[in-house]
Structure 1
Amino acid sequence: MSLRRKELQGRKSRSVWLLGAMLTLVGCSKEAAPTGTADARTARTGARVEAESGSSKLSELPAVEGLSTARVFAQKLEQETPLKETTAVHVKLVPPANKELEDSLVRVVGDPQDPVVLFRSDALAEMGAIPKSPGPGFFTLFSDVPDSEIQRRVDSEARVAKGEFGETTRETVLFNGRHPAARFEGLALEAQAFRGGGMVPIANCPVMPASTQAVWEKALLVRDAAVVQDPARTWDPCTGAGTKGGAWTFAHLMREMAQGSGTTAEDFVTKWLSRWLNDYTVNGDTVPARRKMYDEVIAPWATASGQLSSLQFNSASNTWQVLLSGPLDLDIAPFRLLSIVNRIDLASSTGGGYGGTSTAGELRFVFGLTQPSPWGAGTEASCNLKSFTAIFEYGVPLTGCQQVIDWARKWAQLGARASFDATYLAQLEAMTESVVLHGKAPNKGNQSALNQLRTNEIALVLPNGQWELREFQLVDENPATGTNTPSNGLLRAHTVALTPDDATHDFQTDPDVDDLVTSTIAGGLSGVTVPTQCAASFTVPHALNGNPFLGGNALVDVPTHWEAFSANPGVATDVCARKEFSGNTCNGCHFKDTDTTDLTGINNNAFTHISPTSGIPAKLSKFLTGGGTGFMFSVPDAQFGAGVTSWPFADLLRRHQRLYDIATCQTCGRFFALDAGFLVRMEEVAGAVPFDRLSGTPGELPFKVGPIRDLETMKQLLELRTSFAKEPRDTPLGFLRPPEPFVH
């Protein structure tokens, strides 16, 4: 138990008393309070936040030198290492979460079963292993970077400057996490200096494709009617226009996902929808039924399919069940495509964010629920759009630096096209099919690349109720071990990402949330300045302080966000940690932490970042757009208000820069993975392993954690690498990015 936790014991008893008093007033179920009360509260909250939020020009951000933003330097070695590595890669690591490791000469990050081991650059220079150190705070690992890769990067810079991907700009916005912080100009790769043994920065390109609305629409978040109502690839349940079972339909995605499940696609979907008919429990959190799923979705769909349906109670199993005279017709599903989303910004490395194999992020399909009358034969006016989105989120099944670059370049090529012509549509279809078809992910459930399917709705509880988010995966989740095991079968309910159980944890007074924020997350931060330097790396455990923590669903308004009651508004790490935690929960991301609170839908969205009720094209939140090209949208801190700080957002710009950074500027090298046995040997040699684990990671480590301060010990470990080296991996030189807890 932490000292901070002990200090909170007295407060905890008072918090529990307060929570009990609140439950006496509003009840202890997750079932919502009456709509009138909730709407009045939302209207007051939304009006206050909206009055303080607003967009401002990105050009008002301070300008900084490009070199000051570089965190990776490469230096050609005079002699190859015993592993035939040709290059020293120097990385400015963030300060360790474990303060005991601050002066360690060796750092270990990533997954203990697939560790990344780095050596302090100053110490390597002192012992003559590298020609020169970039300075304090840098750590070094070694790679093979062929001259052809350096030339590829140089040639790529030249093609971008000539307009290969459209109009260009010399200015890049520096993001700290999700927040615009400054402006700078990127740096050309100094190929000649590198070849001569000089230390060169591996940074953003000096010229980048300009971030425009047209590029966003074609390469990042595709919502134009030419795509989402493409007659050859989509089918509209409202009008009947399109092709049933087309490549971008709900039916096609479900048919591919259901293969290998042991049942038909129709039964696969019916059983998924039936999860709303009965209470179920995930990680100790009982998720209440929303039986209007039958009235709003299943029954109308069955009728349109020419089938009889009924909802009956089975006394033997004590559950409500749907009886159908025949299968639902997937080809006329009431889910209409709203957007195809490129989330290559989630491209990272496996192994806790550090190390492992490069990945290509996610591909997402966003659908909105309709209840058309007549079904498939009406107009937009008879569509009856519902406040319900279903988001299919696939892990792009590509690994390795060059494959990820190729994927990024395909998106960049789409962004450069003048229109949504036949070539654009054919290329986009080829890309989506390479992800969603059965068999594209042989090691995942049903051999589907699906990571998760999320829903966000209030349609099933109107006129009384709250917005609710749920998550489903093709895995067996084990909360006790915090693991997911891919397995074939039906979609299974899963804990919602990074979000506490809001039935047992109050969003303003919970001591577990307070402890996680102010002790664990804040304790792993250093050098924080709000709002320009605030980015945390952490995990949220299934259980905290012996009790289940992650929720089986997430309600919104309330909670509108999450607070840490003992956080000090005058302490930057407390303010930053609370925002980082709350902003990455479903509740905060879909309401107060992003000011997605406009119930009128006039100035912004409410609860959704892609609106299911605004028609085609779907309206986007200002969290995404910043208020338009060249703008950022600033939101007052959800707990402390604008008097302490406001947090700026321009997420499509952030995603744009990440896309083109990968497509045009990423430089690859071959890095040797190390066997986990290296850490066993390290403990034998040094007496401890300087492993810096993410804040909030549960479980015991199989070795003693501690610093290595002896130069001779470091030298011995450097030489031992050859005995534990595994296969080399094709990895970006900048792969040692701190893991970001982005899921939304």
Structure 2
Amino acid sequence: MLFDANEQVPFALPPQPYVPTHDWEKTLLIRDLSVIEDVGRTNVWSNASGTCEMIGNPNGEWSFQTLMEDIANPARTGVDLHDFVTHWILRWNTTHDVRGDVLPASVQGVNELWYDNVFSGWPKLAPGTGNYDDILDMTKAPFRLVAIVNRLDLRRGVAYGGSTGELRFVFEMIDPATCGSRPFNLILEYEVPLGSCEEARDWGTLWYELDSYALGDPDLSAKLSDITTRITTRDVAPGRPNGSALLSLRTNEQFMAWPHYPDRNWDMRAFTLDGDSGYLEPSALDRTPAGPWEVPDATTGEAPIDAFISSNLTAILDGTHWVEPTWNGHAPFQGGHAGYGQVACWISPCTSPGNHTEDRGRWWGTASSGTTRDQRAARHRFSLATCNGCHGREGIDDATVGVSVPLATPDQPFRHVEGHGPGTAATLSRFLTGTHGGCHPSTNLLVPPLGTNDCADGCCPVGDPVHGYESDQVHFADLLRRQADLDALVYSSCLMSLTSDHEPTTH
């Protein structure tokens, strides 16, 4: 059974035998260092000289500075790049009410990023008075590009004037003193504002043609640059805030939460452009309820989200459910952020791990919830559609809580794309690369136990976090699904697409 990796509804594995006609490393998720560390197109953190330094082109089309300046679009908005970026950072300095869900402040985390402690602080052009009034050096932003991602599979309603999916840039945080990677991913998510089937197919063909270039060929970077700048350049979306095609800036990090307890306090937030001010402001997460909904009742063991799942069973199974700001008179229902390894403080002040109870963002419910396979499948699909479910134990074998199937290779928590600092390509979760090597499930539902459960020959599904791998297991291979989707689009008839809708997803 396959699910989309990012805000997730289920998709079946491609029919067998499916042999991809293109390499996803060049057409869907580009992480090769010849592209990611192309010093003509971006500035690159490097420790090749023995010291950590920034090299390359800070004005390149893939640099943090250029991408953010095009989003800010000062000529149109009057918003200076420095003000734009620092305003975003300082959103962590105060609490924010996002549709009723209160996002906690993290003053210590802001201090860590802005100044220094364990982290070396953002490089500065001019010091301030210690009140966040320093001039930060945008040419040396502590972020390193780790992947350029084609999410054409997220297209919606192209036959009726929708969009052609997304283009994403994934950055990791880098310590400017050591070039060490920090647990902070920053993802720029752009909408591809092309509406017709023909435009979608042409857009897909541009990506598909990248397969004809070898990894390391400078022409691959040049062609990719031509594709991406069509979307990232300022004023490409004149009807949207700032004239930018940016949908959201998403963070997925363990850095801002304080104090830094091992394997705890991961948090995901989204920021969107405010149409009036032109700045980035916190926004709600798709398909992810507010945190209190996932905490089972201490007395009864009942999970409050069960009522929503039961009431929306058909829509959840169809992948068409949505999470609104309120539900059944309850608010907030939609989450303004998603935690994983997040902990609830039950003794004030929160000064040590012993003063916390753990909440890992599983949307598990209880082992007794769901007495039919449909209900169990609905719980699973609902959980996988949440940010913290997909990035948590529902979609990966988290190394911090133990694997779900004996002998499974554990994934690192909460990141499907993980950077490792300069000179090293990002690693990907098995959710993306596949759990089904050596086997292929014959069903698009939760697969039954596969017998030996020993992960032989790469056949290593993820066990259900509620009922255990003995009861239910799930296979993922999202890049394979995306390969099949791109193949189908490039070789499709747009006449056919007018009568067959592309199945929706949100991640």
Aligned mates of 2:427, 2:379 — CA distance in 1: 29
Q: Name the % identity.
A: 31
Change beyond 3 A, Cα 1:223–1:462: farther
Aligned to 1:308: 127
Change beyond 3 A, Cα 1:620–1:227: same
CA contact (8 A) 2:293 2:304 kept: no
Three-state SS of the structure 1 residue aligned to 2:54 is: coil
Residue 491 in structure 1 maps to residue 307 in structure 2: no
Residue 224 in structure 1 maps to residue 32 in structure 2: yes
Three-state SS of the structure 1 residue aligned to 2:469 is: coil
Aligned to 1:550: 334
Residue 736 in structure 1 maps to residue 480 in structure 2: no
Three-state SS of the structure 2 residue aligned to 1:544 is: coil
Change beyond 3 A, Cα 1:241–1:565: same
Three-state SS of the structure 2 residue aligned to 1:241 is: strand
Aligned residues: 441
Q: Residue type of the partner of 1:492?
A: E
Residue 579 in structure 1 maps to residue 412 in structure 2: no
Change beyond 3 A, Cα 1:560–1:504: closer
Q: Residue type of the partner of 1:571?
A: T
2:391 aligns with one of 590, 595, 600 = 590
Aligned to 2:212: 416
Q: Residue type of the partner of 1:733?
A: L
Deviation at 1:604, TM superposition (A): 2.3
CA contact (8 A) 2:288 2:338 kept: yes
CA contact (8 A) 1:501 1:551 kept: yes
Cα distance per residue 1:384-419 (max 9 Å; x no partner): 210000000000121211111111111111023223
Residue segments in structure 1 that go unaligned for 5+ positions in a row: 1-55, 59-175, 186-207, 313-321, 374-381, 476-485, 526-533, 670-730
Q: Any residues of structure 2 matched to 1:289-308 within 5 Å, and which?
A: 289-299=105-115, 304-308=123-127
Aligned to 2:92: 276
TM-score in terms of structure 2 length: 0.80
Q: Any residues of structure 2 matched to 1:203-214 within 5 Å, and which?
A: 209-210=20-21
CA contact (8 A) 2:287 2:322 kept: yes
Deviation at 1:487, TM superposition (A): 5.0
Deviation at 1:311, TM superposition (A): 4.8
Aligned to 2:467: 640
CA contact (8 A) 2:123 2:141 kept: no
Q: Aligned-residue CA RMSD in angstroms?
A: 2.8
2:133 aligns with one of 309, 313, 323 = 323
Change beyond 3 A, Cα 1:739–1:507: farther
Aligned to 2:415: 608
Larger Rg: 1
Aligned mates of 1:639, 1:606 — CA distance in 2: 18
Change beyond 3 A, Cα 1:524–1:491: closer
Aligned to 2:309: 517
CA contact (8 A) 1:561 1:583 kept: no
Deviation at 1:228, TM superposition (A): 0.8
Change beyond 3 A, Cα 1:645–1:372: same
Aligned mates of 2:302, 2:82 — CA distance in 1: 43
Aligned mates of 2:94, 2:260 — CA distance in 1: 20
1:356 aligns with one of 160, 164, 170 = 160
Three-state SS of the structure 2 residue aligned to 1:390 is: strand
Deviation at 1:358, TM superposition (A): 4.3
Three-state SS of the structure 2 residue aligned to 1:293 is: helix
Deviation at 1:560, TM superposition (A): 3.1
CA contact (8 A) 1:358 1:732 kept: no
CA contact (8 A) 2:435 2:476 kept: no
Change beyond 3 A, Cα 1:431–1:633: farther
2:322 aligns with one of 539, 550, 553 = 539
Residue 651 in structure 1 maps to residue 455 in structure 2: no
Three-state SS of the structure 2 residue aligned to 1:469 is: strand
Aligned mates of 1:735, 1:252 — CA distance in 2: 39
CA contact (8 A) 2:184 2:254 kept: yes
CA contact (8 A) 1:232 1:242 kept: yes
Deviation at 1:331, TM superposition (A): 1.1
CA contact (8 A) 2:189 2:249 kept: yes
Three-state SS of the structure 1 residue aligned to 2:16 is: strand
Aligned mates of 2:478, 2:339 — CA distance in 1: 24
Three-state SS of the structure 2 residue aligned to 1:420 is: coil
Q: Residue type of the partner of 2:340?
A: V
Aligned to 1:466: 265
Three-state SS of the structure 1 residue aligned to 2:418 is: coil
Q: Residue type of the partner of 2:295?
A: D
Change beyond 3 A, Cα 1:292–1:228: farther
Q: Residue type of the partner of 1:471?
A: A
Change beyond 3 A, Cα 1:250–1:303: closer
Aligned to 1:432: 228
CA contact (8 A) 1:179 1:648 kept: no
Residue 255 in structure 1 maps to residue 255 in structure 2: no
CA contact (8 A) 2:124 2:136 kept: yes
Aligned to 2:356: none
Q: Residue type of the partner of 1:468?
A: D
2:53 aligns with one of 239, 258, 279 = 239
Change beyond 3 A, Cα 1:414–1:510: farther
Deviation at 1:610, TM superposition (A): 0.6
Change beyond 3 A, Cα 1:282–1:217: same
Deviation at 1:732, TM superposition (A): 2.2
Deviation at 1:341, TM superposition (A): 0.5
1:372 aligns with one of 176, 187, 193 = 176
Aligned mates of 2:367, 2:333 — CA distance in 1: 19
Deviation at 1:426, TM superposition (A): 0.9
Three-state SS of the structure 2 residue aligned to 1:649 is: coil
Cα distance per residue 1:563-597 (max 9 Å; x no partner): 34597544122011111111011111111101241
TM-score in terms of structure 1 length: 0.56
Aligned mates of 2:97, 2:140 — CA distance in 1: 31
Aligned mates of 1:623, 1:246 — CA distance in 2: 32
Three-state SS of the structure 2 residue aligned to 1:295 is: helix
Change beyond 3 A, Cα 1:505–1:581: same
CA contact (8 A) 1:261 1:490 kept: no
Q: Residue type of the partner of 1:452?
A: S
Three-state SS of the structure 2 residue aligned to 1:306 is: strand
Cα distance per residue 1:468-518 (max 9 Å; x no partner): 10000114xxxxxxxxxx555101110122111114652675664111111
Residue 443 in structure 1 maps to residue 239 in structure 2: yes
Aligned mates of 1:386, 1:346 — CA distance in 2: 29
Change beyond 3 A, Cα 1:655–1:488: farther
Deviation at 1:292, TM superposition (A): 3.0
Aligned mates of 2:397, 2:157 — CA distance in 1: 30
